[in-house]
Amino acid sequence: MKHICPNCEKITNVQHIKTDEDITIKGKRINVPVEYYRCLECGGEFDDPKSNHDPLAIAYKEYRRSHATGPV
């Protein structure tokens, strides 16, 4: 598929990557799904600018949910 690569600053062939990643918050590892693009021209990886998918925000939400009881 074609997408604008912020590194190349032009429309290039990119690969849509869907995977998951461990994000560590205060020593607790949280597995969150991540989506991004990889430019096949330069190999650079970048987020979909149209998506507001934020793995860090998801990880924080998970962290708060698992620590919902008791004070922080």
Q: Which C-beta is closer to Zn ion: that of 12 or that of 58? A: 12
Closest to Zn ion by CB, 30 or 39: 39
Q: Which is nearer to Zn ion, 40 or 56 (CB)?
A: 40
Give the footprint of Zn ion on this chain (CB under 5 A): 5, 7-8, 39, 41-42, 44
How far is residue 50's CA from residue 32's CA, in Å, rounded to a whole number?
A: 19
**Alpha-carbon gap, residue 12 to 63, rounded angstroms:** 37
Coil vs helix vs strand at 42: coil
Q: How far is the CB of 42 from Zn ion (least distance, A)?
A: 3
| Least distance CB 44 / Zn ion (angstroms) | 5
Determine the Cα–Cα distance for residues 51 and 35; give it in Å rounded to an integer.
9
